[in-house]
Amino acid sequence: MAETQFLLAHISDLHFSAGTVQNAAGHSHSIELLRGLETNIAQLPALDRLIVSGDISNTGDSQSLINASGWLFDQIPIGNGQSTGLRLKPDRVRVVPGNHDAWNAGSDGALVDRRQKSLAHYNYAFPQHAIAPKGCYFDWLEKDGHGLYVACIDSCFLGDTAKSPHSTFGTLRYDEAIAKGKLTLNQTETLLQWYDQGMRGTLQDPNRPGSYIDPGTYSKALKILVMHHYLFEPPEHKSDYFMRVQQRDLVFRNIALSDFDIMLCGHKHIAAFETRQYGEHIDDRAAGRYMLNYFRRLIGLESLPVQLADEHGKKISKALTLVAQTIGSWFKRGAPNRSAGEIADKVFELLKSGLDDPDGLELRVRTFLHENGAAGASTLEAPELKAIQKRIAAGLRLQERTELRSISANVSKISSSLLGRPFLQIMSGSSAKSLSAGDSKRSFNVYTIRPQANGWDLKCERYNWDGSSFSAPLVQQQRFDRKV
């Protein structure tokens, strides 16, 4: 019996322009590289998905995006009776836009119109991969009871006009017109909502209308996030303010809350394969929110993100303040060796006491903080605390509370598992942008993903352009354990 596996290919930064004739000068894409990709991808008959992580076009104009769509899903003429194209079905391809797709920098109308047109251009060329209105969509692949969950995010302001006191409504500010990316509050909340639904068995399978993803399969699934921008600079490269995701640490912590294992991206035209541990970037607030969300999900409430701030540092929502923020400040003052995981466990134990006495939960929270030197500090704010109390008191029977206490008995394993988990960022180099003199840094990736008894194995094969073809691959591997 053949071993179960999923096969994904990953290309990025194609930079299509409007023309396609192979002997014409000035293409921002390379016909030679496109044909090389066609040859190699055609040799992957068992391909489950092709991932395209942004900068599909060079200027976001309609014709360039249509050419890209034509090459992905059919063929485009390149002159002399020849053509090139992948001829893949749209449901086998997953696409996100890049900053070049959101710019419309050519002669395509006045500056005031360009951002609005970028959304229309992209959605017209890729109607089955439309980004609006939530700024994200997800895919589900399942074989032999094993699942891959793939969430695709627009990190590039597509269709998002500038609305701030520092610019005229509808125009592009300088800091938005460059390469920086973002995840919005709406996108973060949507990712968390999908995760909650997946864990509860209420997440609809996008490939089978009317069917729901099994929660046990979803909980064990390998979870992949796709966006154009990267979180962490590739090894041996200096941090680039104008290329990175805004509020990176907050974005990463919220990614952790949605259980992602891998991020696939592009943007920098550099291929990289880098594994980090969640614990390197999870602070007390994020660890507390992780366990707070676990508790909310346990009693039937939706998850909430780590508190976000806008680009000027102003808090978006006071209702997202964490218990862990205050409890963590006491632990640091009175017991500096406490880890974020221990803090998270303490937060959870405090909230779990509400299963026995929801009416007294608020008093216990305040008493705990007062006794430990944090009197008067902001804790779990009233709206969230009252929602938890109301749900336990009015929505859970005594037997259900008893069952939940039993389920949550080994909760410390969950927080420690989070902090020790690997997070893999894989960047694809530019796959088809025209080569400059002496430049041969073009590549694409192929991922073979296999479920194991207690986790997943991933093999990444990177194919680099050697000047005339894509060479034999560089192979890298990563293991993902599922111990909890």
Domain membership flag for residue 1: no
The two three-digit tokens of residue 179, written as one number: 């390469």
Residues 319 and 222 in one domain: no
Closest CA relative to residue 223, chosen from 147, 294, 286, 287:
147
3-state helix, strand, coil in the chain (%, to 5): 35, 20, 40
Residue 465, pLDDT above cutoff 90: yes
Residue 164, pLDDT above cutoff 50: no
How far CA 425 is from CA of 99, 238, 272, 282, 477, in Å, comes to: 19, 17, 8, 16, 12
Residues 53 and 186 in one domain: yes
The two three-digit tokens of residue 332, written as one number: 């640091």
Question: Higher-confidence residue: 212 or 342?
Answer: 212
Distance from C-alpha of 283 to C-alpha of 182, rounded to nearest angstrom: 20
Q: What confidence tier does 116 reach under pLDDT thresholds 50, 70, 90?
A: low
Question: Higher-confidence residue: 171 or 190?
Answer: 190
In the listed set 418, 448, 463, which residue is the last one of a domain according to the structure? Answer: 418
Residues 309 and 202 in one domain: no
Domain membership flag for residue 245: no
Domain membership flag for residue 25: yes
pLDDT of residue 371: 63
Closest CA relative to residue 176, chosen from 188, 166, 191:
166
pLDDT of residue 65: 94
CB 104 within 8 A of CB 115: yes
**Which one of 250-254, 274-278, 322-326, 342-346 scores highest in mean pLDDT?**
274-278
| Dmax (CA) of the chain | 82
Domain membership flag for residue 277: no
Residues 437 and 394 in one domain: no
Residues 410 and 439 in one domain: no
Residues 54 and 164 in one domain: yes
The two three-digit tokens of residue 236, written as one number: 């041996």
What's the domain range around 393?
284-418
From the CA atom positions of the chain, what is the Rg in Å?
A: 24
pLDDT of residue 59: 86
Residue 338, pLDDT above cutoff 70: no
Domain membership flag for residue 35: yes
Least confident of 26-30, 87-91, 103-107, 185-189: 103-107
Mean pLDDT of 204-209: 93
Measured between alpha carbons, how far apart are the two ends of the chain, in Å? 28
pTM attached to this predicted model: 0.87
Question: Higher-confidence residue: 86 or 368?
Answer: 86
Contacts of 76 (CB under 8 A, 6+ apart): 20, 67, 70, 83, 84, 85
Average pLDDT, the chain: 81
In tens, the pLDDT along 303-312 reads 888 864 444 4
pLDDT of residue 368: 67
Domain membership flag for residue 182: yes
Residue 147, pLDDT above cutoff 90: yes
CB 131 within 8 A of CB 154: yes
How far CA 321 is from CA of 177, 188, 195, 326, 460, in Å, comes to: 32, 16, 21, 9, 39
Residues 458 and 434 in one domain: yes
The two three-digit tokens of residue 30, written as one number: 């390379």
Distance from C-alpha of 233 to C-alpha of 283, rounded to nearest angstrom: 20
DSSP string, 270-326: --EEEEEEGGGT--HHHHHHHHHHHHHHHTT----PSPPB-TTS-BS-GGG--HHHH
Q: How many domains does the chain have?
A: 2
Distance from C-alpha of 82 to C-alpha of 184, rounded to nearest angstrom: 43
How far CA 455 is from CA of 149, 419, 422, 481, in Å, comes to: 14, 17, 12, 4
Residues 189 and 43 in one domain: yes
Mean pLDDT of 131-154: 92
Distance from C-alpha of 175 to C-alpha of 178, rounded to nearest angstrom: 6
Look at strands 136-143 and 93-96 and give their pairing. Answer: unpaired
Closest CA relative to residue 43, chosen from 93, 94, 86:
86
Domain membership flag for residue 255: no
Residues 73 and 139 in one domain: yes
Residue 237, pLDDT above cutoff 90: no
Residues 197 and 316 in one domain: no
Contacts of 110 (CB under 8 A, 6+ apart): none
For residue 425, the 8-state DSSP code is E
Residue 126, pLDDT above cutoff 70: yes
pLDDT of residue 172: 42
The two three-digit tokens of residue 77, written as one number: 């003429």
Contacts of 19 (CB under 8 A, 6+ apart): 26, 27
Query: E strand or H helix at 40, and its extent?
Result: helix 31-42
Distance from C-alpha of 419 to C-alpha of 414, rounded to nearest angstrom: 9
In tens, the pLDDT along 169-185 reads 333 443 444 567 888 88
Domain membership flag for residue 261: no
Residues 349 and 442 in one domain: no
Closest CA relative to residue 353, chosen from 304, 396, 295:
295
CB atoms within 10 A of CB 338: 17
Residues 120 and 167 in one domain: yes
CATH of the domain at 63: 3.60.21
